[in-house]
Amino acid sequence: MALNPEPADAPVAPLACGRDPALLWDRAAEGVPLDAHERACPHCRAAHADARGLDAVVHRMAGQRIEPPDAVLDRVMSAVATELRPHELLALPSPHGPARVSTAAAAAVLRRAVDGMGGLRARSCRIDQQGVPGADPHAVDVRITVTARFGVDLASVTARVRRLVIAAGEQVLGLPVRRVDIDVVDLFGDDEA
């Protein structure tokens, strides 16, 4: 019968002197010098020598430059393009019969408009086209979160973003915007350009 001499996740056995060899190894890897006990103890010295002995080759391996070929991400993005969530669509007013745009594409248009305002970036952008009885069936509600550069006048941000989102919705997407909720969720500095 085969015995497993090394249970997968057994605790690390202490050295004969009682010290924890994993801790000793970590300290050796960090370059911490041996303490008085470790200098005198043959068990600790042997473990320390093992730890240091692997150092050089492990460093060389860690320093190897390994870059994935571009083809991998190209293939991934082709597959992603075929998996875009086509069921999330917005109906567009159109004299030529039903027209639709993907919600993700419409959100990208609104985010891009906000990104172009200077000092602001759109983060989340949710577009909801829930028909309300008696109202324009194409009208949308937009919830958008933005981050602002330090120093941007926050008092005016909400009004400016609201105007822009309404204009972009109507002019670029052709969708009447009924309601815009705006949250400034974060600030960024110039160093994060």
Site residues (vs other proteins, CB under 8 A): 6, 8-12, 21-22, 25, 50-51, 53-54, 56-58, 60-62, 64, 66-69, 72-73, 75-77, 79-81, 83-85, 88, 102-104, 107-109, 111-113, 115-118, 121-126, 145, 147, 164, 167-168, 170-172, 174, 186, 188, 192-193
C-alpha to C-alpha distance for 119 and 188, rounded to whole angstroms: 9
Taking the complex as a whole, the smallest distance from the CB of residue 133 to other proteins amounts, in Å, to: 27
Cβ-based nearer residue to other proteins, 113 or 140: 113
Specify the DSSP element, H or E, that contains 10: none
Which segments within 53-139 are labelled E, that is strand? 89-92, 99-102, 120-128
Q: Is 80 left (phi over 0), alpha (psi -120 to 50) or beta?
A: alpha
Taking the complex as a whole, the smallest distance from the CB of residue 90 to other proteins amounts, in Å, to: 13
C-alpha to C-alpha distance for 56 and 170, rounded to whole angstroms: 63
Cβ-based nearer residue to other proteins, 132 or 185: 185
